[in-house]
Structures are given as structure tokens and as C-alpha cells.
Structure 1
């Protein structure tokens, strides 16, 4: 049941970010071009498992993406707002699809699997 809630939460947040992106009339090609950029963080696994998990999780936690989104909204910085929305949409899409934060034991070992 808890996993389903996380999947639903991801879906709701994804739809919300898409709505806000559309509401702000940002370019859609930019959205789709940068939607998967946070996954570049997986390259940190080439250093080692522990650092890979830390860097990956840093790029896949809502707290940083939403902070960026809020700063963009409060300071009227369209670029920061767009980046925050795209980044939050990426994380929400991952949660919706069942991809979670990584443990340093294995790339496939995520917090959603432990629920």
C-alpha cells in the first residue's frame, strides 16, 4: 500500500509541475530536452558505490529541486523557476515509475523496495 501511495504522489506532483510549467508558458522543447538531465548523476557510480549513491540521491531529492523552484518563483527568475519545475518533474516521474533513492549497497537497492 505504501508503494502505491509513493507512485500516486509522484503522479500528482508530475501533473502539478506540468501544469505550472504550462501556466508559465515556458518552451516545451526545453522541458523535454532537460527532463532526463538529473540522471547524469549516475555517472558518479564510476567513482565508487558510496559516492555514486550520495551524488545520485542529491540530484533526486525533492528538497533541492523545490528550493530552486521556490527561489525562482519568489525572486521572479524565470530560468530558476523553469529548472526547478523540470527537475521536480523528473523526480516525480521517477517516483511514479518506482525509482527511488539509492542505498550504497547496490544501484538497484532503493528506498521504495524497502517499503
Structure 2
């Protein structure tokens, strides 16, 4: 099942190898299912187009700091908020709440399928799916520590 390279990488604190690809494929399936359900429930394309990237407005939290940015980003990009919206939609009969919930699920799943996971307070590029982007150069990493 696992090759030696995967076993050597398994202690990194985030998924690697086939586990990472399985999580990304799973997210892609959730994305496809939520978009399909959105349209099945009568969702309009223009609503999807307007709201799909709305969760990314949570990046504004990083203006306050890494910890606040990660907390706000994670609150908006987890599946908990859409679950609450969906329950509210069922209880109130407001279809728009279902639609927004499905759009937010689709967005979070889309991000995860691309490798953008929930954030750690260490910084934007540190996610539960592993680091994103190019690692900083040695000089930049040194400067970020406040030693320069």
C-alpha cells in the first residue's frame, strides 16, 4: 500500500502522497455534489457567480494578524457555517439559506481540492493539507523571524 517515500513523509504533521491526493479528490467530489445540488434545488447561476468567492473576503482578517486571519478564514472555510445555514434554511423554509450554504460548501471544497486547507496561526501558507506556495528563501525566512 504505502511506499517507502510515503512512510518517510508520514511524520510531517500533514497528509502526503496518496492520502493527500485522496483528500483532494474527496474535496472535488464534494464540490461537484454541492454545485449539482445547488442547481437541483433551483439555484440561479448569477447567485453562484456573485457569492462563490465571497468566503475569500475573510482574508481581511490577516490585516489584524496571523492568528485573527487564520481564525476568520477557518470559520468561513470550514463546513460548520454552511451546516448552520442549511439547518436554518430547513427550519425557516428560506431556500436562499440552502443556496448560500451549498455555495460556501462548494467554495471550501474547491479550495481544498486545490490544496488550500484550513490555516494554522503560523501564517497563511501553513494549512492542514500541508504548506502552500513556494517556501520562502533563507533570507526571507530569517527576516520574518525579526532577526534582521
- Structure 1 residue 11 and structure 2 residue 5: aligned? no
* Correspondence for 2:112: 95
- Structure 1 residue 49 and structure 2 residue 66: aligned? yes
Give the TM-score normalised by structure 1: 0.92
* 1:75 positional shift: 3.5
1:59-98 equivalence runs, <5 A: 59-98=76-115
Q: How many residues align?
A: 114
- Computing the radius of gyration from Cα coordinates, the structure with the larger value is 2
RMSD between aligned residues = 1.3
Unaligned runs of 5+ in 1: none
Unaligned runs of 5+ in 2: 1-17, 132-148
| Greater RCO structure (CA 8 Å; 6+ sep) | 1
* 1:56 positional shift: 0.7
* Correspondence for 2:52: 35
* Correspondence for 2:42: 25
* Deviations 1:42-61 (CA, angstroms, capped at 9, x unpaired): 11100011111111111110
Give the TM-score normalised by structure 2: 0.73
Runs of 4+ in 1 over 6 A off after TM superposition: none
* Deviations 1:44-99 (CA, angstroms, capped at 9, x unpaired): 10001111111111111012212212331353211101110111110010111110
Q: Secondary structure at the match of 2:69?
A: helix
* Deviations 1:1-59 (CA, angstroms, capped at 9, x unpaired): 11112111111111111111111121101101110000000111000111111111111
